[in-house]
Structure 1
Amino acid sequence: MVSSFGWGEEMSDPGAPKGVAAWVMTVSYLPLLAWGPLLGWVTVAYWHRRRRAG
């Protein structure tokens, strides 16, 4: 499952975290991945609101 996030080669390293630590590391990147789309959504919403206000 972790390899589907693009961590396959990195996680095969002997010093890489395993088990729960690997999941925590992967989940910690979710806010970083969501930042771009969320910023775009908020920017468009702000633009619509300002456009309606005149």
Structure 2
Amino acid sequence: MRLIKLKEVIQKTSLGRSTIYEFITKGSFPKQVSLGAKSVAWLESEVDDWIMERIGEREV
């Protein structure tokens, strides 16, 4: 299990920061994990699963 910071989430998804947070608000992107007062990260496996779901939607 690996945690990744926002910069890597942006690189993996090609989404912008505001879009990621908008998707989180809508419930369509994995929620971040709080690491402290001002630090968050995402489970890499959840982000990877989200990407695979997008790929799967393309194939339908």
TM-score bucket (shorter structure): 0.3 to 0.5
More strand by share: 2
TM-score normalised over the length of structure 2: 0.33
Higher RCO (Cα < 8 Å, 6 or more apart): 2
Larger radius of gyration: 1
Greater helix share, structure number = 1
